[in-house]
Amino acid sequence: MGQEHRRATRFNVSMAVTLILRDTKNRLDLADPVPGDLLDISLYGARLSVPHIRTGNHHLFYTCSDDSAKVIHLEIIDGAEEDRLVIPARPVWFDHILSEPTRHFEIGMEFLVPPEDSNIARLHVFHAEQKSAGEGGWLKRLIRLG
């Protein structure tokens, strides 16, 4: 087995996200949102855990692979403030994890915005802020830092 060569450092995280399958050409949501958990992030992408890979008549991986106008929006919501952070992404791999009781899927996502995009910076600051409890919502803390 070969050694992995990543473009950027990955950071382990644990935060809830919602995956929304979008048709960017027609600006439509294609199916019901899928809840998930971010497992790790880098400047270029993320690994997520989701309970199912299908939503409605769509497969999260194959729908995006078959049509470049179909993307997934990763949505993170600050529960206290109800502010949202949305990052467009495309799945690059998926795996069905049968060895754990939850029998979930893991999906590797590539962000469709460059690493210098403000939402990527906000996500990484949120991750850093999540480690230390502070007052107010994470989006307010991000704005104060920026």
For the chain, which domains are there?
Answer: 11-145 (2.40.10.220)
Radius of gyration, alpha carbons of the chain: 15
Q: Specify which of 6-20, 30-44, 67-81, 113-127 reaches the highest per-range mean pLDDT.
A: 30-44
Question: Higher-confidence residue: 121 or 86?
Answer: 86
Which residues make Cβ contacts (< 8 Å) with residue 12, sequence separation at least 6? 39, 40
| 16 strand-pairing partners | 37
**Using CA atoms, how far apart are residues 16 and 19, in angstroms rounded to an integer?**
10
Q: What is the DSSP letter of 2?
A: P
Q: How far is CA 115 from CA 6, 20, 104, in A?
A: 14, 21, 28
Give the pLDDT of residue 34: 95
pLDDT band for 135, please (50, 70, 90 cuts): very low
pLDDT tens string 50-92: 999 999 899 999 999 999 999 999 998 765 556 688 999 999 9
Q: Which residue has the tokens 């049509």?
A: 67
